[in-house]
Amino acid sequence: MSLAVAAKPQLKPAVQGQKKDYSLIILGGGPAGLAAAIYALRAKLDVLLVEKMVLGGQASTTYHIDNYPGFPDGISGLDLAVKMSEQAEKLGLKFDWGNVDKIVHHKNRFEVHLPGKTLTCQALIFAAGAEPLKLNVPGEEEFRGRGVSYCATCDGPFYQDKNIMVIGGGNSAVEEALFLTRFAKKVGIVHRRDTLRADKLVADQAKNHPKIYFFWNSVLEKIVGSKNVESVVLREVKTNNTSSVPAEGVFVYIGTKPNSELIKPLVKQDDRGFIMTDEKMATATPGLFVAGDCRVKALRQVVTAVADGAIAAQSAREYLEGLTSQG
Ligand code: NAP
């Protein structure tokens, strides 16, 4: 069982939403959604938060967050998520668990469709986050959960004294590779170029780590095994030479894609599907605000997600006040 799933009871607020119509619904319980909830609750808005899985979002699966101000020794993603959800709960957060399957906009009103029920609201903050990109190579889907993972915090402990490959060269890949050295015998970082995208501080830590080694200018072609993963086939992109390397675990960190499908008809998106907003988090649809990793932005971090959430809540409040003054 993953740590994220095991943690769900701690992150589940006590107060279930009872009614169907709200002034504001926040979709997504990651840092952006929780910050929006805290600001909306403090402004006394009639608000409901809808989350499909675990409060805390992707951040709750991060082993250690070192760059969120206020925690000089860092904090685990799970602890930060618990603190944020406790703060929202203390303010009276009401929530609904469910997988939203459709969002419909009529004049001044949104319908949020979940299996078996429809909620309505005048303003909607969409903070559905992003999910890991897949490599789409043979073996990736087949061995998912049997050697292929997208969450080192969740699955790292299963790889005690094993050989692990981490794919990618960004902050996520390098930070999670460092985390995986706690368990693994060796961690190979497979990167398609010869320079890491990750920040220099973590890049240097990885380069100096005795358990980490690099496959530069290399891509993963295939994941091979019988019951579980046993090896990977790598291709050196300059020579096109392929090699088979023994590995029991493959952790993929090649970036994220936005969970933006649900509101596609209501917003403008960039070519990767990230949603365009203005600086008030407003979209092309009045009353629809977007916060966090699913929007177009320069830096996807917990600190920027909570800032988005705060701004979105403030903008939703102004929007709702405008509706009231129009009568
Ligand atoms: P990212 O920064 O987009 O990096 C993705 C990495 O995967 C890049 O090195 C990229 O190679 C590689 N890649 C992409 N597609 C690939 C493919 N098909 N095959 C092989 N390699 C591929 O993604 P991320 O690391 O998940 O980070 C996402 C955002 O969160 C970034 O803004 C990052 O800075 C931030 N973040 C920050 C922290 C922190 O500050 N502590 C921690 C985690 C994430 P190229 O370099 O060649 O493009």
User: What's the pLDDT tens digit per position in 260-284?
Assistant: 999 999 999 999 999 999 999 999 9
Domain boundary among 198, 217, 252: 252
Q: For atom 39 of ligand 1, which residue has the closest CA? A: 171
Q: pLDDT value at position 53?
A: 84
pTM of this prediction?
0.84
What's the distance, CA 254 to chain centroid?
13
Q: Examine the residue annotation and report whether 204 is marked as an active-site residue of this protein.
A: no
Question: Which residues, in sequence order, are CB contacts of 269 under 8 Å at separation 6+?
Answer: 260, 275, 276
Residue with tokens 């072609």: 221
Q: Examine the residue annotation and report whether 151 is marked as an active-site residue of this protein.
A: yes
Domain boundary among 189, 218, 252: 252
- Based on the fold, state whether residues 248 and 282 are members of the same structural domain: no
Q: In the structure encoding, which two tokens stand for residue 229, read together?
A: 């993963």
Written in H, E and C, the secondary structure of 268-289 is CECCCCCECCCCCCECCCCCEE
Q: pLDDT value at position 161?
A: 98
Q: What is the number of other CB atoms lying within 10 angstroms of the CB of residue 146?
A: 16
- Based on the fold, state whether residues 32 and 123 are members of the same structural domain: yes
- Provide the H-helix boundaries in 181-301: 200-207
Instruction: Considering the candidates 96, 154, 293, 294, report the single residue annotated as catalytic.
Output: 154
Q: For atom 31 of ligand 1, which residue has the closest CA? A: 300
Protein residues whose CB sits closer than 6 Å to any atom of ligand 1 = 67, 135, 167-173, 175, 192-193, 197, 219, 253-256, 299-301
Q: pLDDT value at position 235?
A: 98
Domain span at residue 213 reads 134-252
- Based on the fold, state whether residues 30 and 170 are members of the same structural domain: no
The total number of structural domains in the chain stands at 2
Q: For atom 37 of ligand 1, which residue has the closest CA? A: 171
- Based on the fold, state whether residues 97 and 235 are members of the same structural domain: no
- Based on the fold, state whether residues 44 and 115 are members of the same structural domain: yes
CATH of the domain at 174: 3.50.50.60
Q: For atom 18 of ligand 1, which residue has the closest CA? A: 135
Summarize the confidence of residues 226-237 as an average pLDDT.
Answer: 98
- Based on the fold, state whether residues 181 and 299 are members of the same structural domain: no
How far apart are alpha carbons 191 and 168 in whole angstroms?
Answer: 5
Written in H, E and C, the secondary structure of 118-143 is EEEEEEEEECCCEEECCCCCCCCCCC
Q: Examine the residue annotation and report whether 294 is marked as an active-site residue of this protein.
A: no
User: What's the pLDDT tens digit per position in 27-52?
Assistant: 999 999 999 999 999 999 999 999 99
Contact (Cβ atoms closer than 8 angstroms) between residue 241 and residue 221: no
Mutation choice for ligand 1 from 166, 174, 254, CB with most ligand atoms inside 8 A: 254
Q: pLDDT value at position 14?
A: 58
User: What's the pLDDT tens digit per position in 286-304?
Assistant: 999 999 999 999 888 899 9
Instruction: Considering the candidates 121, 151, 294, 308, report the single residue annotated as catalytic.
Output: 151
